[in-house]
Structure 1
């Protein structure tokens, strides 16, 4: 499953839960599935972050630096 597919499914689950029309058992099942999808998406993002590098020009040299997301 791609990140986009998992994220879309997670959004659908959230929409269903927010509607409030599901039974308690259905809500618990959706919640569990949502948590699994959240963790899957988070793992994919962590993996992608480790693969991303940026090139910084330092004078006449280029060096490879690990890319990190900076929180605002």
Structure 2
């Protein structure tokens, strides 16, 4: 785990650390108190990833082009 506050992490940083946390928890060789701490950190990281994905979705939805390549406004992008 890093010392970087979760709310300052990029999506990539949060996802990488979340994968590490999940890996440690899946191995099951962590003491109970450490498992609780890891689970709490993982929950924060998951929330950060969801927030960053939502921000990206909103940015993509705001970029809609007409047939001439001119931005036309906001249209949600399906699947995000």
Fold-level similarity (TM above 0.5): yes
Separation in structure 2 between the aligned mates of residue 33 and residue 10 of structure 1, nearest angstrom: 8
What count of residue pairs does the alignment treat as equivalent? 69
- Which ranges in structure 1 are unaligned for 5 or more consecutive residues? none
Alignment of 1:1-72 (within 5 A): 1-52=9-60, 53-57=63-67, 63-70=72-79
Give 1 or 2 for the bigger CA radius of gyration: 1
The TM-score, its normalising length taken from structure 1, stands at 0.80
Higher normalized strand content (fraction of residues): 1
Q: Which ranges of structure 2 fall in alignment gaps of 5 or more residues?
A: 1-8
Cα deviations by residue, 1:13-66 (Å, 9 ceiling, x for unpaired): 000000000011111110000000000110011011111123242xx6853442
TM-score normalised by the chain length of structure 2? 0.73
